Amino acid sequence: MVRGKWEAKSRVHWLLVMVFLLLNSYFLLPTSTFAATYTVDNTADSGAGSLREAITTADGNGVADTITFTISSQTITPLTQLPALSEGFATTIDGTGAKIYLENFIKR
């Protein structure tokens, strides 16, 4: 009788260990990130819809994204240098059909 209880506890113990290991391996696996499109819809230097925000967000997720513009015939005047895009992946800046001018743009 004692041996039967010990075997049952041992099985439960191993089952709990296996569940724990499976859950840990699930949470340790890298998550996949999909490419996204970020839209620039204002000429502000920062904040939602700005070119700076689009570049920062696109560069931060580690995949090749696209930045598009819904503004036309506008001038974007960054107050400071825009962030650089990483070279590890290709982010597309698509200005098709838009006449966008960058003032005070400093290229590294």
Same domain for 22 and 49: no
Q: How many domains does the chain have?
A: 2
Instruction: List, for residues 10-53, the tens digit of each pLDDT value.
Output: 888 888 888 888 877 777 766 556 788 999 999 999 999 999 99
List the domain range (segments joined by +) for residue 12. Answer: 1-30
Sheet holding 37-40, edge to edge: 37-40, 66-69, 92-94
Question: What's the CA angle centered on 83, arms 59 and 40, to 5 degrees?
Answer: 70
d(CA 19, CA 23): 6
d(CA 101, CA 75): 5
pTM: 0.61
Distance linking the first and last C-alpha atoms of the chain: 78
Instruction: List, for residues 42-97, the tens digit of each pLDDT value.
Output: 999 999 999 999 999 988 877 888 999 988 778 888 898 888 887 666 788 888 76
Same domain for 92 and 46: yes
- Has residue 107 been placed in a domain? no
Q: How many CB atoms lie within 10 A of CB 35?
A: 13
